[in-house]
Structure 1
Amino acid sequence: DAVNESRGGRDLRSLARVPLLVIAVSWSIALAAAVVIAPSQSWIGALAVALAIPCLALAIAIRPAVLALALMAALLGVGRAELPALDAGAATRAVALAGQTATVTGHVADDTRAAAGGSEVLVEPDLILVGGSPVAGVGNLMVRWRGPAEAGFGDQLNATGKLALPRDLPSFDRRAYLAQRHAYLELDTTGINVTNPASGIAALPSWLRARYVAAV
């Protein structure tokens, strides 16, 4: 046992001598695995990036620190593979749709927030229909609705309403804020229909938030 422990300690010290190599390999393997096993799952990417942040604290607590940094690199690699790349032309295409009626099916990408007379939530669209024709490449949508309906992170929803440019406030540049989240249009609707609530690991963020709110 002592021999095995000594050998394990030497192996860890060997890894610590080539930290950049270990981190690069972890990133590459995780990125490749995510592309092959679960391509284009943006919620997995968001979850991986969120979990990567605490790894910085782990790097202080454990030795060698390269283990925590390699884990962080792997999680960021998953995030890079899963999260969609920014589309430079999305804002221009989105502006052209302002004022039109659309039907949207997509996944909730954030927590629901109270808005004037109702609620709003960021949605990653899977399908946008304008005049019965599909539209793509216009970024995410901020869906605003009136009424008691609720949607949680990862839920799939459907809504029909009018597309509009985000409303700027006197003290807050809402358009710039939403553009950081790749959203250039709002969908104003009377209500939403949650067609497929999040389940399994996709429901974990909402579950954690609900427990946190209950605790405080």
Structure 2
Amino acid sequence: MKSSNEPVPERTRRPRNQKMLLAGAAVLAFTLGAGGLVLANSLQAQAESTTQASQKQLADVAKTDAETGEKVYVDAQAQVIKSLGEAGKLTVAGQEKPSFEITVHSVKTLDSCPLRGFGGEIKPENGNFLLVDISASLAASAAKAVDEEIALMPLDASVFGVSTGENQKVAYQLDTIASYSCQVENAVDIAVGAGDEVRGMLMLDAPYDSGQIVYDPEKSGGWTWGY
């Protein structure tokens, strides 16, 4: 049973082991414990929702951004659509400022990369290397919103996906041996912790040279940026 001080969204869809939900336009809740990182989609508290129809169960998201009042666009894969340079924001119910933000600033397509520590060039396993400029922040208050000792949001290649475009199936498993073997200058941290802000580059090994980058750690709905 939830304690009285936990933010309870109007409607939620939880995966197993879910302990806490944070509400926002495209909402990802997080905890870190023995069961691993858990993320889920939920509804902005007291906001009218819309359910996207597809063959899989999709998340409910607010029709408008709680902070700006702008319309929220969601594709058939439960991804809230953003432009490059535009932040995906998560806000704890009852708070005015976002607790988590992530932005994809740019994406560069490469057909090879320098082999880390050895020199020479290596080829992608999936067809294309994507060098992604990412920034993310997690408010210090996030540590109080979960029942665990550490509040984190992951930023490694395993939590990203790509698609050929809006409403198309998302391909994951971009964290190949080749992508991790690339020499990347100013590499982004693998996670952002409470009270931290990070920015850096991430190498993905993708089957598409254009389309959409997806941030969706639990494969249940997140944010997407066209490239």
TM-score range, shorter chain: under 0.3
TM-score (norm 2): 0.26
Larger helix share, 1 or 2: 1
Of structures 1 and 2, the one scoring higher in RCO (CA 8 A, sep 6+) is 2
When you count strand as a share of all residues, which structure comes out higher? 2
